[in-house]
A and B are shown apart, each in its own frame.
Chain A
Amino acid sequence: MQIYKDYKDHADFLTVYVREAHPTDEWQMKSNVKEDVCYAQPKTLEQRVAIANDFVKRFSYPTQFGIDDMSNAANDAYAAWPERIYIIERGRIAYRGGMGPFNYHPEEARTWLAARYGEVKHEASTATPDQKSN
């Protein structure tokens, strides 16, 4: 997660796990089969916790991590599904990213941070390409 690596000294990062986008019992993608990312849509919070932990362990995911309730409260509040980025500053929305996958552009969040703190580029991350956030 390169953006975290580059700007963790300036900003806090929080990843929020929301309902699965391409589970085996809904709209599964071939790429997920190839990468062995095969999960049914969680029916319980415990199942969400298990999948989120698999994700974090597989990628040694570094940011703070939270899991949305089965009521999808966080998802609904932020219209987050399937993927989306926001930046909050002083309790207000400072940046609102587009709705994924077609309008999911992490580079816009990077641009926001760069405008505030300058360009920062640490050594490239070795994370695998299917990591959701950049």
Chain B
Amino acid sequence: MLKWIGAAVVLLILAVVIGLSVMAGGLRGAYGMVRYALPHMHRGTLRVGDDAPDASLLALDGSSRFHIRERTGARPLVIVFGSYT
């Protein structure tokens, strides 16, 4: 019985590694995804209709600040989150 459980666990791990490798473009990518991406990826709890959270942001000049809420007016505000890399 233990032998079968062990084999199933090994197969499961293998399937996960292969799946992640396919998604990430290789073993190194799979490691990067598990080590650096997954800990920071969260679905979040916001839903359509919820109050939009506010946050303070730094402007490109590196000194002035503004709040997301200040940029919401009569028109819809499209917020795009991202980075350079």
Q: Counting CB contacts under 8 A, is B71 at the interface? A: yes
The answer on a CB contact under 8 Å between A46 and B76 is no
Given A16-B80, A19-B40, residue A11 in contact with residue B75 (CB < 8 A): yes
**Size of the chain A interface, CB-CB below 8 angstroms:** 72
**Size of the chain B interface, CB-CB below 8 angstroms:** 45
Residues of chain B touching chain A, judged by Cβ–Cβ distance below 8 Å, are 29, 32-33, 35-37, 40-60, 62, 66, 68-69, 71-73, 75-85
Name 8 A/B residue pairs within 8 A (Cβ), A-sorted: A14-B79, A16-B81, A27-B33, A65-B59, A89-B76, A91-B52, A91-B69, A94-B48
A-B contact count (CB 8 A): 202
Residues of B within 8 A of A56 (CB): 60
Residues of B within 8 A of A100 (CB): 82
Residues of chain A touching chain B, judged by Cβ–Cβ distance below 8 Å, are 3-4, 7, 10-23, 26-29, 32, 37-39, 45-46, 48-49, 51-56, 63-69, 73-75, 77-96, 99-100, 109, 113, 116, 132-133
